Every structure is written in structure tokens, then in C-alpha cells.
Structure 1
Amino acid sequence: MYNDNYESCDETFVTLRVYSTRLSPQEITHYLGIAPSKIIEKEETEDILMPKPIPYSAWFLTSENIINSRDSRRHIDYLADKILPIGDKLKELASRGAEIDISCFWSSKNGQGGPTLSPAQLSKLAKLEIEIWFDIY
């Protein structure tokens, strides 16, 4: 099912992104019960290093530097399998105003080809009711 050497791909990874104006990254972590790969804290005030406040908190879970494959299907399955058990919690966060999506970074080795999605992956993503988008270079 996977082609870890995916010849047309130079690099790929996926990231679940949760943005909230009301919940802190720590609250999101506690609610989901999964440690994030990275967080961004909401900033209420401006300072010299950050001229504009950040109006939201962000919580990320990524396959970057975890899955060693150039096949985006392996990355998507890794992430989907981690978050399927908490799918209802993600839907609840979305109903409370959080913005949630999956970003798939995909860099072409030679300007040809592209990522592949399998029917099984599309089924998992449909159960999660989370949009996936592709950042292709």
C-alpha cells in the first residue's frame, strides 16, 4: 500500500492544526489527552518583538520528523490513527468555535507527480469530518 521511496516526492508530512480564540494550548491538550508537537500561545498585547498580538492559540500534532517516508499516505494514516479515537472530542472543539484542519506538506523532487490518497484514508478522513489541504511545492 505504501511506497516509502515515492520517487516524485522530496519531502512530505502532515499536521493536525487546532486554532482557538478561547482555549489555551494547555486546555486543548488536557481535553484531547494527546501531547502536541508544537503550540503557539495567544498574545493579548503588543511588544517590541511581536508588533501585532496573536489573536488565537494554536495546537499542532505533526508527523514531521516522526515518520520516515516520502509517501504522504503513511503520514496521513499515522495522524488519522492517532486522532480517530478522539474524533468526537475534535468535533466538540469545532462546535465550540475551534478551527481544525489537516495540512499536508508535499515537496516535489522534479516538478512532476503528486501525493496519493487511498479510499481507506478518505474513509478515515470522512469519519473525522476534518478538511485536509495540500501545500505543494
Structure 2
Amino acid sequence: MIDLLLPLRVTASRSGRCWSGCWCRPKRRRSGGRGSYPEGRLITTLAGFAVRNMSACARTYVTLCIYGSDADTMNRMADEIKMSPTRTSNKNGLLGWFFDTKELDSVDVADHLDLLLRELEAYGVDMKKIKEMGCWYRTYCFWSSVSGNGGPALGPKQMAALASLDMELHFDLWFDPPEEE
């Protein structure tokens, strides 16, 4: 997300100078396809200027994890939540129900949280009721950096929605070091 409302002329420079006038060079794609700067998408700001959204994120997704200790509790939870999980697990007697947003084509963690929150709202899920059944839950955000720096950002909208659901948010951050030149 770009909060820049200045009249900037953005150009894609492969010769060395970027739009800000510095001499940085664009990142080259590493073998395997990971670690390159995305070309970005054209965004029109409120002032009507077009800028490229150059995200520091290579990949992100959100997973809602719900855990329970017995099958009866998890069956009652599944009847209440009505959403289809993307996967389930049973490890050492701990049962898990998971819904992730890996299929969403976005490198903005807020988009992934918005999708999860819309799904919970669409199905009328009451997370406090899930907790009262004896389940516990967390939301995990996987976020991988393109260049070894940067980080995810949440807006007040996502934070308020998570707080209203009494939902913990955990981040799994990956920072690949920049390439040696």
C-alpha cells in the first residue's frame, strides 16, 4: 500500500537511476524464481498520480488454526463454523483444523486478513463460542521478504476486527539475505 500523495513521475529504469534519483540497481531474479522485486502494479493515488507499488514481500498468507483435544469437541466446532478447512491434522492426540489463504494472489498481508475476516463474517462464525466449546485458536501470518528487509503492516481496520474476535495474531517472518554483488 502506498500512502504517497506527491506529484511524482515514476519510471522504470534498468540503467541505474531509479525514480528517486539514487543509483540503485534493480534486483535480478535468482534461480528458482524467489527473491526478485516484483514489477509492481500501477496504483493511482487520491491526488490522481500513478505510482508503482513495490512491495518488500515475496509471498504471504494467513492461516486460522483451531485446536481441540477430542473428536467430539472438534465435530461441534466444525458444525458451528460451517467453513470447509483447507486441511486438518491429528498429531499426538491434538486435533487441528486449518483455513489458509495461500490461493489468494496478493503480497499484502492485509488482503489475506481481509479475506479470512470476510469468510468468518459470511459464515456468521462466533469465535468466542468456539472458545467456549473447549477449542483454542490462533491466526498465523507467513511473510517472506524479497530483499532481507521490510515487514508486514496492519491497518486499524484489521487490528480492530481481530480484537473484536479475541484473536491472537502470530507472524512467521522469513528474511532472505540480499544477494552478494
TM-score category of the 2 structures, normalised to the smaller one:
0.7 to 0.9
Cα deviation digits, residues 56-111 of structure 1 (max 9, x gap): 1100011012x1000101001000111135342x2122123211010000001111
Identical-pair percentage: 30
Q: Which residue type is aligned with residue 38 of structure 1?
A: R
Structure with greater proportional helix content = 1
Q: Which residue type is aligned with residue 7 of structure 1?
A: S
1:62 matched residue in structure 2: 100
Distance in 1, Cα, partners of 2:78 & 2:132: 17
Q: Point out the structure with max Rg over C-alpha.
A: 2
Unpaired stretches in structure 1, ≥5 consecutive residues: 42-52
Does 2:110 correspond to 1:76?
Answer: no
1:118 matched residue in structure 2: 155
Greater RCO structure (CA 8 Å; 6+ sep):
1
Distance in 1, Cα, partners of 2:85 & 2:158: 22
Distance in 2, Cα, partners of 1:72 & 1:80: 12
Unpaired stretches in structure 2, ≥5 consecutive residues: 3-39, 42-52, 175-181
1:86-125 matches, within 5 Å, as: 86-88=124-126, 90-125=127-162
TM-score relative to the length of structure 1? 0.80
2:67 to 13, 19, 22: 19
TM-score relative to the length of structure 2? 0.62
Q: Which residue type is aligned with residue 122 of structure 1?
A: M
Q: Which residue type is aligned with residue 109 of structure 2?
A: S
